[in-house]
Chains A and B, each alone.
Chain A
Amino acid sequence: MIESTPIRTWIVIGFVVVGTFFLTVGTIGLLRLPNVYNRMHATSKPATIGTVAIFLAGFVYFGPGGAGLSSLIGIVFLFLTVPTGAHMISRAAEQIGVPFLGSVTWPGKSDDEQENSR
């Protein structure tokens, strides 16, 4: 634990405000977007950025070493796991046949068909 100066307090407040803003954006996207794939986009990207900002606030507050280092490990872990989980859910949704929106297609098979028809 390092001593709290006003500038460090303001940096922590700034990170917390930014993180809460991005978490709010992610939740609004989860509620308002029309499709499961679009909702997944909303929850994986802004929610990750918001949580990473709050982890950075924890790093600034606790200082380098101890809990601050654990915050940095948490950032790396989130950047590794959240895209992996979103990818697995989107693949599962495509396999059980959740329809796409409009003219959207799954990358791969239909692209080959379009190239063959050309």
Chain B
Amino acid sequence: MTAEGSLVLVIDAAIVLVAFLNLLCGYRAVRGPTVPDRVVALDAIATNVVAIAVLFAIKTGRGLFVIVSLVLAIIAFLSTVAVAKFITDGDIIVSHE
């Protein structure tokens, strides 16, 4: 069962707008003066992609894409933590001996 009427119009407009916002975040990811700037921009892109996945789930009426957005959120969090740890320690997997 798909969305109909004015709802599908609003959701299409929202998907296009959020995709454009992703493009603007990509500007900061390319031009950002420091490395944490780029990480923050990529984190914002990941959050926007989570929103796009939920909007797509509403548009098509398939609840599976909500699970897809959950997985995308998990991957965004893991990558953010990994890059922060890499910047701090210069190493991600530290072996304690």
Asked if residues A88 and B84 are in contact (CB atoms below 8 Å), the reply is yes
**Bound CA–CA A66/B36 (angstroms):** 37
Complex-state Cα separation, A36 to B38, whole angstroms: 9
Complex Cα distance, B55 from A74, in Å, reads 14
Check if B80 sits within 8 Å of A77, measured CB to CB: no
For this complex, 19 residue pairs linking A to B, each with C-beta atoms less than 8 Å apart, are A9-B5, A20-B17, A23-B51, A36-B37, A51-B54, A58-B57, A58-B58, A61-B58, A67-B67, A70-B70, A74-B54, A78-B73, A85-B81, A85-B84, A88-B81, A88-B84, A92-B84, A93-B87, A96-B35
Instruction: Give bound CA distance, A20 to B27, whole Å.
Output: 19
Report the bound CA distance from A20 to B20 in whole Å: 11
Which residues of B are at the interface with A, using a C-beta cutoff of 8 A? Answer: 1, 3-7, 10-11, 14, 17-18, 21, 24-25, 27-28, 32, 34-37, 39-41, 43-44, 47-48, 50-51, 54-55, 57-58, 61, 63-64, 66-67, 69-70, 73-74, 76-77, 80-81, 83-85, 87-88
CA of A77 to CA of B37, assembled, Å: 23
Which residue from chain B places its CB closest to the CB of A16 in the assembled complex? B14
Q: In whole angstroms, what is the CA distance A61 to B6 when docked?
A: 14
Q: Give the distance in Å from the alpha carbon of A30 to the alpha carbon of B85 in the complex.
A: 22
Number of interface residues of A (CB under 8 A): 52
Q: Which residues of the other chain, A, contact B74 by a CB distance below 8 angstroms?
A: 77
User: What residues on B are CB-neighbors of A57 within 8 Å?
Assistant: 54, 58
Query: A-side interface residues toward B, CB under 8 Å?
Result: 1, 4, 9, 12-13, 16-17, 19-20, 23-24, 26-27, 30-31, 36, 39-40, 43, 47-48, 50-51, 54-55, 57-58, 61-62, 66-68, 70-71, 73-74, 77-78, 81-82, 84-86, 88-93, 95-96, 98
